[in-house]
Amino acid sequence: MNRMKTAISILVFVSLSFGNCRSVHNNDPFSDALLYYLLFNAIANASEENCNFSPSASFDSLYSDQWHLQNISQFGGTFGEDANVNNVWNQGISGNQVIVSVVDDGLDIRHEDLSSNISVTARGLNLLNNTIYPTHSYSNSFHGSAVGGVIAARGGNGIGVRGAAPCSKLVGVNLLEKSTIYTSDEYRAMVNETARVSISNNSWGSPDGYGWLWPSSALWQQGVNEGTQKGKSGKGTVYVWAAGNGANGGTIASPILVDNANYDGQANYYGVMAIGGIGQDGTKANYSESGANLWAVAHTQGNNATAYTTAISTTDATGAFGLNAGGTSGDYSQSNYTKKFNGTSSATPLAAGVIALLLSQYPDLNWRDVRELVAYSARQNDPGDTDWSMNGAGLNINHKYGFGALDATNLLMNASNWVRISTPQIIDAKAILSPNTPIPDNDLVTGATVNYPVTTGISYIEYVDVEFTSNHTYFPELYVLITSPSGTTSFLSEAHACANPYSNTLCTSGNTSIATMTGSSTYRFGLARNLGENPNGNWTIRVYDASATDTGSINSVRLRIYGR
């Protein structure tokens, strides 16, 4: 384990880069001005169209490449290993009237395969120029348009690709083109048009590949809280969040563990569903981050034992802009599309699209209903993986996969007889326990143990926050585990490689504590795996030190339980 302090290879995912430096040169200012004028008037006076989609009578020229929607082993993947949307489409369910917010680096509202599905009732937001037009401002921005295509590229129009919810509507929030993103920007991105927005897609988050702890801001949390409490006429906006692409700092053949989704204080927040990525064979993409906070997984580019497999076909920024300038490095000759989208950035909008199908059929569901339906209907992918277990409520759980793979057919089937959650959510912040228990150095056997008794009026867990305080001088060498009264054990942190994002140097022995990384000696972890369990009884926190020299204690622990 000492090599973690002396060697690291930081994961680089070039195709997911948001960096840019050149403004787009607009070649048709008159048509843009006219489009924006019409859009502004439409927003003020219109209602969303009723869209109908029938897959049997539809054609989209690149649909056969979209294995994540229909996997017939066209690229060597496992037959049927996909989002299972076709049975739902065949019932006439296609996301009609559901508005999905794309919080990203912009959204090409002029795109030939997206323009018909741009919302005319919800206003976009461009935080770069403070307008309602979220279109990309830089020539190499594309990410938000690729995300939008996975969700809602128009189905059956004879061109391009198809979204998972091909009749849903998009509203763009251009957040990521800003060179400096303030917490107030994060707040505005979370609350933009939440009265109309059913789902907020967030294929962004803390920097990947550092093994660093990144707490979320209070303003961002406030935005998510307002969205879940007040969004969509009180039913709550559903937030889906990319789990992250920083798990592997080495190679496919020789991986080095770096990031965990629980190190991202946005992905581990109770108000969001963290989404990981699986490939065309149903196994975890090597970069996709595991975590006790992970809710579910969806399909994206994966890998076999030695190489990456087929990526996702979707919309690109129009023309020569974006990822594909037309045949770029083996990409499509049609420059408005790309077949190279990947990462949990692509898995997350697939989840959003599947949830849009659900909400178009059952618009009365609230955000808590949706979360639990996703969990209870998830499919156990990669059934041979040894981390699968069952929690105390009978749910399949896995640190790599959450509750399993999103499955549109299962989701809609379970929703047909779902008893709506009408009980208000209780949030019970328990007392801080301060044992100051020393953590034995370089010891993976005995470790340090803290017992945390819980008595609460909650009998059904929806989520748990674990506030963990430690002065250990090298946090990345610790294993932190928690076991519930029902016997479910979850890893909150694992020994991992680490680099300082501010100096771009290896993390330093003796100077990489929780406080060094976050400014506070307390970090909040998220715990999804105990859904449905009764929290009453004794919880056990265990900490093991995987390497010599650095020492410290478990200073305090506090649980915050969400449930009913």
| Residues labelled catalytic | 104, 143, 345
Half-sphere exposure of 257 (CA within 13 A, CB side): 14
Query: What distance in Å separates the CA atoms of residue 133 and residue 373, rounded to the nearest whole number?
Result: 34
Residue 112: Cβ-neighbour burial (10 angstroms; 0-12, 13-18, 19+): middle
Q: Taking a C-beta distance cutoff of 8 angstroms, is the pair 560, 456 a contact?
A: no
Cα–Cα dist 484/536, whole Å: 9
On whether the CB atoms of residues 555 and 434 are closer than 8 A, the answer is yes
CB 432 within 8 A of CB 516: no
First-to-final CA distance of the chain: 42
Q: Are 474 and 550 in contact (CB under 8 A)?
A: yes
Which alpha helices (DSSP H) does 12-162 contain, by range? 29-45, 86-89, 143-152
| Beta-strand runs (E) in 247-406 | 272-278, 294-299, 312-315, 337-341, 389-390, 396-397
Helical ranges in 333-462 per DSSP H:
344-361, 367-377, 408-415
Question: How many Å apart are CA 299 and CA 229, to the nearest integer?
Answer: 29
Distances (CA, A) of 490 to 24, 63, 493, 544: 47, 40, 9, 14
Q: Does residue 42 sit in helix, strand or coil?
A: helix
